[in-house]
Chains A and B, each alone.
Chain A
């Protein structure tokens, strides 16, 4: 069932929050060594999908395999072993707020390896250099901007040289320069170490620029998937609307609600 070309394979995944179906039977394959973008409107469950892949949430039904292991069946010990090979960049950064930048990046190295201090120092500085924040090593997380915090979090996510990194909205809050650098960095990381990357984003341009493959999800379903070029010229009205950022089209901008007139006039 699991073909060797994909690192993550998701089959018939359903996930419910209370009564609401966030995912209603989706199949996704993340190819090894490639950058895969997962796109979709805000609130469709992209963050939720990453948490499902990381084993933080359990699917209501369906299976998720990562590197041949079924994530939702793993015991805590095996799950943690698997997670050591996954990096995740949280939307908020999720840095530990009581220790400085340097210690944040050093944290996973200290927790999981017995490396000597001098080597840890070198490793951390290299990772920080990669995200352009070597000079910020002594700052506390509350002294960073949102974009900087996300880049520190990226340095931390790659600290243990994982086999796969999941980026949750890496581009939000980046100025054009750091955005360009970040796009190159994600690409370079991916190609240099045969990493597999999953990038969640609604920045169509950047995502299309770095991704080898794109999935678009909405309303609990995979709407379309394919190479960026194919997606850009997609015949589907839906995809065309999303990729070109048009307000009019089949994709609803609104969270499901009764009619505006009805709501405003207070008619139940």
Chain B
């Protein structure tokens, strides 16, 4: 009994310690952002590997998700004779929810895990120590550009996801199922609001970009410096990011749409 209590206490203290370290790392990363202005090259390189290299998976997934939305939406809406509003349904689901959320989940799996593995291996092979001894701050030099790149890339990827999703929905709805072309677009134009829908979606993906990249970098930086430690950290990145995204999505949705 007492032993269980001790174990519980230890887990509690351990988690608090992790949380503290995570926030410290965040502070140090944020403190390094100003230095990036003099060396934009560092950021550009990371935007490439975090953002550009994720485009393919985001584009393909977005298109397919949009196509499925087109199918499902059509079957339901046509039962009420409302298939003209298919465009609204597809666009709203994508821009408000699926775009930011699915992009963040894919991002965690594609870019987040890669970031964790990279940083973790750099730690395991003493590259981070080596930088420190060369008087180069590894947090500012290695982590900060990656953090900023993830934060910037996420909303762009989400926008791409949503845009291609709408095209997918259009292809299925208008191209295959015969929804009226004009109605699809004009209904969408009339009903999708710049602030309520688009801006809220962008805010969501900014939050997700911040959180997912932070988790990925922290897990890598905090990994036990062995092969097993890095592999566990990579798994944790995907699991923690997914939970964080889904949980935050609920909270953000409640705040944004819940009057």
Q: How far is it, in angstroms, between the C-alpha of A83 and the C-alpha of B126 when the chains are bound?
A: 16
Q: Per-residue CB proximity of B111-127 to A under 8 Å, as 1/0?
A: 00000000000100111
Contacts of A56 in B (CB 8 A): 129, 132-133
Write the chain B residue with the least CB distance to A76.
B137
Q: Is the CB of A108 within 8 A of B127?
A: no
Kindly state whether residue A107 has any CB partner on chain B within 8 Å: yes
Contacts of B254 in A (CB 8 A): none
Residue among B127, B129, B130, B132 having the largest count of chain A Cβ atoms under 10 Å: B130
A-B contact pairs, 12 of them (CB 8 A): A81-B135, A83-B133, A83-B135, A84-B135, A88-B133, A90-B129, A90-B133, A92-B125, A108-B134, A108-B135, A111-B134, A111-B136
Contacts of B122 in A (CB 8 A): 97
Q: How far is it, in angstroms, between the C-alpha of A241 and the C-alpha of B126 when the chains are bound?
A: 33
Q: Is the CB of B127 within 8 A of A94?
A: yes
Contacts of A81 in B (CB 8 A): 135
- Return B136 CB to nearest CB of chain A, in Å: 5
Residue among A76, A87, A111 having the largest count of chain B Cβ atoms under 10 Å: A111
Q: Is the CB of A90 within 8 A of B130?
A: yes
Q: Is the CB of A94 within 8 A of B129?
A: yes
Q: Is the CB of A95 within 8 A of B127?
A: yes
Q: How far is it, in angstroms, between the C-alpha of A86 and the C-alpha of B135 when the chains are bound?
A: 9
Q: Is the CB of A107 within 8 A of B134?
A: yes
Contacts of B135 in A (CB 8 A): 80-81, 83-84, 108, 111-112
Q: Is the CB of A94 within 8 A of B132?
A: no
Interface size class of B (residues with CB under 8 A): 10 to 19
Q: Is the CB of B127 within 8 A of A97?
A: yes
Q: Is the CB of B127 within 8 A of A83?
A: no
Q: Per-residue CB proximity of B122-158 to A under 8 Å, as 1/0?
A: 1001110111111111000100000000000000000
Kindly state whether residue A96 has any CB partner on chain B within 8 Å: yes
Please name 17 further chain A to chain B contacts, defined as beta carbons within 8 Å, in addition to the given A56-B133, A92-B126, A111-B141, sorted by A numbering.
A51-B129, A80-B135, A83-B134, A83-B135, A88-B130, A90-B129, A90-B133, A92-B125, A94-B125, A94-B127, A94-B130, A95-B130, A96-B127, A96-B131, A97-B122, A108-B135, A108-B136
Q: How far is it, in angstroms, between the C-alpha of A93 and the C-alpha of B129 when the chains are bound?
A: 11
Q: Is the CB of A86 within 8 A of B133?
A: yes
Kindly state whether residue A228 has any CB partner on chain B within 8 Å: no
Kindly state whether residue A54 has any CB partner on chain B within 8 Å: yes
Interface size class of A (residues with CB under 8 A): 20 to 34
Q: Per-residue CB proximity of B10-41 to A under 8 Å, as 1/0?
A: 00000000000000000000000000000000
Q: How far is it, in angstroms, between the C-alpha of A149 and the C-alpha of B126 when the chains are bound?
A: 13
- Return A161 CB to nearest CB of chain B, in Å: 13
Task: Kindly identify, within residues 73 to 104 of chain A, every residue whose CB is under 8 Å from any CB belonging to chain B.
Answer: 76, 80-81, 83-84, 86-88, 90-92, 94-97
Contacts of B129 in A (CB 8 A): 51, 56, 90, 94
Q: How far is it, in angstroms, between the C-alpha of A94 and the C-alpha of B129 when the chains are bound?
A: 8
Task: Kindly identify, within residues 11 to 68 of chain A, every residue whose CB is under 8 Å from any CB belonging to chain B.
Answer: 51, 54, 56
Contacts of A95 in B (CB 8 A): 127, 130
Contacts of B136 in A (CB 8 A): 107-108, 111
- Return A135 CB to nearest CB of chain B, in Å: 23
- Return B214 CB to nearest CB of chain A, in Å: 21
Q: Is the CB of A80 within 8 A of B133?
A: no
Contacts of B133 in A (CB 8 A): 54, 56, 83, 86-88, 90
Q: How far is it, in angstroms, between the C-alpha of A107 and the C-alpha of B138 when the chains are bound?
A: 13
Q: Is the CB of B132 within 8 A of A83?
A: yes
- Return A260 CB to nearest CB of chain B, in Å: 28
Q: How far is it, in angstroms, between the C-alpha of A258 and the C-alpha of B131 when the chains are bound?
A: 40
Contacts of A156 in B (CB 8 A): 134
- Return B12 CB to nearest CB of chain A, in Å: 20
Q: How far is it, in angstroms, between the C-alpha of A108 and the C-alpha of B135 when the chains are bound?
A: 8
Q: Is the CB of A94 within 8 A of B137?
A: no
Write the chain A residue with the least CB distance to B128.
A94
Contacts of A153 in B (CB 8 A): 130
- Return B162 CB to nearest CB of chain A, in Å: 33
Write the chain B residue with the least CB distance to A85.
B135
Q: Per-residue CB proximity of A172-207 to B under 8 Å, as 1/0?
A: 000000000000000000000000000000000000
Task: Kindly identify, within residues 102 to 158 of chain A, every residue whose CB is under 8 Å from any CB belonging to chain B.
Answer: 107-108, 111-112, 153, 156
Q: How far is it, in angstroms, between the C-alpha of A111 and the C-alpha of B41 when the chains are bound?
A: 13
Q: How far is it, in angstroms, between the C-alpha of A51 and the C-alpha of B135 when the chains are bound?
A: 13
Contacts of A87 in B (CB 8 A): 133
- Return B209 CB to nearest CB of chain A, in Å: 24
Contacts of A92 in B (CB 8 A): 125-126
